[in-house]
Chains A and B, each alone.
Chain A
Amino acid sequence: MNLNLEKIFLLFFLAAALFMGMANIFSAEISHPYPYAYFASDPFIHYLTTESLKENGNFLYVSKWYTANQSNVEYCLPPQNYMMSAGFSFNSGLQGYDSIYFISIIAAVINSFVVYLMIRKVSKNAALIALPFMLIVFSKVFISSFTWGQWQATVAYMFFSAALWALTEIKRDYMFVLFAVFASASFLAHYPEFIFLAVFMLLYIAARFFFRELSMDEVRKLALAAVLIFVLIFWELLRFYGIWVKGTKNELGSSELSLPVTGIPVPSFMDFTVILVALIFVGAVFALMMIRKERQVILLYALFVLAMWWSNYLGITKRTVTLRYFAPVVLAVLIGIGIYYLLKNFLEWKPAYSISLSVVLVFGVVYFFMTPTGSPGWMIQERWDAMSWIRENTPETATVLYFYGDGYEQHNPLASTKRINYRLLADSMIEAAQKGEIRRNYTARDVTGMCSAMEPYRKSLLEYGFYAREKPNVNAHQNVDICSFQYYFIERASGRIPPLAQYNVAIGNELIAHGATPVFNNRLVTVLKNNNLGVNCVGNTT
Chain B
Amino acid sequence: METRLKDDLIRLAVFFAACLVIFKLIFFREDIPVVFLVVGGFFYTFILPGFALMYYFNDSLDFLERLIIGIALGLALFGIVAYYTGLVGLSIRYQSLFLPGLFIILGSFLHYLKKAK
Contacts and interface: CB of A to CB of B under 8 A. Distances in A.
Contacts of B37: 92-94
A110 B71 CA distance: 8
B18 A11 contact: yes
Contacts of B64: 6-7, 10, 117
Contacts of A182: 72-73, 76
A26 B35 CA distance: 14
Contacts of B42: 88, 92, 106
Main secondary structure of the interface of A (DSSP, over half): helix
Interface string B15-54: 0001100110111111000110110111011100000000
A195 interface: no
A84 B44 CA distance: 13
B109 interface: no
Contacts of B38: 30-31, 92-94, 102
A490 interface: no
B111 to A, nearest CB: 13
A83 B82 contact: yes
A246 B40 CA distance: 43
Interface residues of A, number: 64
A158 B50 CA distance: 15
B9 to A, nearest CB: 16
Contacts of A28: 26-30
Contacts of A23: 26-27
Given A83-B82, A174-B56, A114 B76 contact: no
Most buried by B among A22, A58, A110, A236: A58
A159 B35 CA distance: 26
Contacts of B93: 54, 57, 90
B89 to A, nearest CB: 7
Given A86-B96, A88-B42, A185 B27 contact: no
A310 interface: no
Contacts of A155: 75
Contacts of A5: none
4 shortest interchain CB distances as A-B pairs: A92-B41, A57-B91, A58-B86, A185-B76
